[in-house]
């Protein structure tokens, strides 16, 4: 079993926390909120109400997933105090939130770039267009965080709809390119509170992106453009699915592996892109490499090499990714977490050499 990954970052946005000393009251409050969650039309009144509920739940999930504690595989979720993960199971809302996420992402261009849609919502609810867009982007981030927090535990891993999750993952990573992120930064740059938004103002998206780089030379989680944030955390969810392979029935393992077929080649291209390697901290990307290793640590690997890497192009990219970014980890304390990916490298490398 792999390690549990915790997310740490400073949340800049104002948020409503649930402060209750009584654990039962806290869980009851969460249950009531989860029951209200559903998929609603973009920028409707119910959509915005849903966003606020998801924000509260995500705040609880964020705190709970970062707690120190025993992550033993044989400890049930019901033996723990992670209320958000428990409530998502008790209310049957895990796949509902997944569907909300997918539906929202399908509307990404309308939600962020359609001036008429944003203006209509802003006028209707007496807020600015940047505020309207910020609700949408925060909803995506909150969905991602809730899914990550839930799949930290094995019970939700067994019921996640893999078909929908794979479709969502492919759409996210395929869209998270330097070109798209720069376009969104240029066209949806929010002004400071109280300022009028100028749709025609000249904005240098490269400068915006570089301004997010911290002292370490990378963009921190809290400063990432929303699509980059969601894509990285979605990879964390994939890692959660595969790190528990020793504790899952063979049927479920096969379901996860088959779902990974559409995602894996997209992931390899995503990880090897200059854009991601330039702006994302290697310690964050290591989780993606550990996911690859977990997926490779399966008796089904040799039967699925051509499924995971369907073209010569993808095979070459994987070999380069392994040699440049994964192989160096074998000389560190992280060797055990990534060593299984070497078998896929050897098989693919031998094929390319023939």
**340-343, long-range: CB < 8 A, 24+ apart:** 340/293, 340/294, 340/296, 340/297, 341/289, 341/292, 341/293, 341/296, 343/296, 343/301
pLDDT at 287 (0 to 100): 95
**Lowest-pLDDT range of 90-99, 139-148, 197-206:** 197-206
**Residue 18 pLDDT exceeds 60:** no
pLDDT for 197 beyond 60: no
Tokens of 134: 């910020």
pLDDT at 192 over 50: no
The owner of tokens 């970052």 is 9
Best CA proximity match to 221, nearest among 6, 9, 30, 28: 9
pTM of the model: 0.89
Residue 236 sits in the same domain as residue 152 = no
Query: Average pLDDT of the chain?
Result: 87
247 domain residue, yes or no: yes
Is residue 259 located within the same domain as residue 146? Answer: no
Q: Do residues 118 and 260 both lie within one domain?
A: no
One domain, residues 32 and 150: yes
Name the domain count of the chain: 2
pLDDT digits (tens, 9 = 90+) for 76-117: 677 777 888 889 998 999 999 999 999 999 998 888 878 899
**Residues 154, 274 share a domain:** no
Same-domain check for residues 153 and 239: no
Say if residues 183 and 205 touch (Cβ distance below 8 Å): yes
Q: Which of the four pLDDT bands, split at 50, 70 and 90, describes residue 42? A: very high
In a domain? residue 33: yes
pLDDT in tens, 304-352: 999 999 999 999 999 999 999 999 999 999 999 999 999 999 999 999 9
Q: How far apart are CA 127 and CA 186, in angstroms?
A: 21
Percentage of the chain lying above the pLDDT 70 cut: 87
Judgement on whether residues 153 and 243 belong to the same structural domain of the protein: no
Among 178, 170, 291, 282, smallest CA distance to 228 is for: 178
pLDDT at 69 over 80: no
Band (pLDDT 50/70/90 cuts) for residue 41 is very high
The Cα angle at residue 286 between residues 353 and 350, in degrees rounded to 5: 10
Least confident of 100-104, 124-128, 167-171, 179-183: 179-183
Nearest 5°: phi and psi at 219? -90, 125
**Distance of alpha carbon 17 from alpha carbon 175, whole angstroms:** 32
Is 221 part of any domain?
Answer: no
* pLDDT band per the 50, 70, 90 thresholds, residue 189: low
- Which of 15-24, 42-51, 231-240, 257-266 is predicted least confidently? 15-24
- Picking from 128, 160, 192, the residue at the C-terminal end of a domain is 160
Asked if the structure places residue 127 within a domain, the reply is: yes
Q: What is the mean pLDDT of residues 153-173?
A: 95
Q: 247 and 127 in one domain?
A: no
In a domain, 46, yes or no: yes
Residues 156, 247, single domain; the answer is no
> Does residue 52 lie within any of the structural domains?
yes
Find the range with the poorest average confidence among 119-128, 177-186, 187-196, 243-252.
187-196
253 lies in the same domain as 350: yes
The residues pairing with 219 across neighbouring beta strands, listed in sequence order, are 213
Token match 């890692």: residue? 239
Residues in the chain, total: 354
Q: Same structural domain for residues 94 and 240?
A: no
Residue 253 placed within a domain: yes
Is position 214 within any domain?
A: no
Q: Which of 123, 139, 160 is the last residue of a domain?
A: 160
Q: Range of 142's domain?
A: 1-8+18-66+77-160
| Last residue within a domain, chosen from 160, 189, 204 | 160
pLDDT tens for 226-261 read: 889 999 999 999 999 999 899 999 999 999 999 999
Co-location of 155 and 242 in the same domain: no
């Amino acid at each position: 079993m792999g390690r549990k990954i915790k997310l740490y970052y400073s949340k800049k946005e104002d948020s409503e926390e649930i402060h209750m000393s009584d654990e039962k009251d806290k869980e009851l409050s969460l249950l009531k909120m989860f029951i209200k969650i559903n998929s609603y039309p973009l920028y409707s009144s119910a959509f915005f109400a849903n966003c606020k509920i998801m924000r509260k739940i995500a705040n609880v999930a964020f705190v709970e997933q970062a707690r120190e504690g025993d992550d033993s595989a044989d400890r049930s979720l019901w033996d723990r105090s992670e209320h958000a993960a428990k409530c998502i199971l008790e209310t049957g809302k895990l796949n509902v939130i997944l569907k909300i996420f997918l539906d929202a992402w399908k509307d990404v261009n309308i939600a962020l770039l359609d001036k008429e849609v944003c203006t209509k919502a802003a006028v209707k609810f007496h807020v600015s267009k940047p505020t309207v867009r910020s609700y949408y982007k925060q909803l995506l981030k909150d969905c991602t965080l809730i899914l990550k927090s839930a799949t930290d535990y094995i019970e939700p891993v067994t019921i996640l709809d893999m078909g929908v999750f794979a479709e969502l993952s492919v759409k996210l990573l395929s869209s998270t390119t330097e070109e798209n992120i720069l376009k969104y930064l240029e066209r949806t740059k929010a002004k400071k509170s109280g300022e009028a938004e100028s749709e025609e103002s000249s904005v240098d998206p490269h400068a915006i992106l570089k301004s997010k780089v911290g002292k370490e030379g990378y963009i921190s989680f809290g400063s990432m453009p929303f699509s980059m944030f969601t894509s990285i955390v979605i990879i964390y969810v994939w890692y959660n699915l595969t790190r528990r392979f020793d504790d899952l029935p063979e049927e479920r393992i096969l379901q996860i592996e088959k779902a990974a077929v559409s995602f894996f080649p997209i992931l390899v291209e995503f990880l090897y892109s200059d854009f991601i390697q330039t702006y994302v901290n290697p310690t964050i990307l290591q989780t993606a490499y550990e996911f690859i290793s977990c997926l490779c640590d399966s008796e089904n690997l040799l039967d699925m090499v051509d499924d995971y890497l369907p073209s010569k192009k993808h095979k070459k990219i994987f070999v380069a990714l392994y040699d440049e970014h994964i192989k160096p980890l074998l000389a560190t304390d992280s060797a055990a977490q990534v060593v299984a990916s070497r078998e896929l490298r050897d098989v693919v490398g031998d094929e390319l050499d023939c």
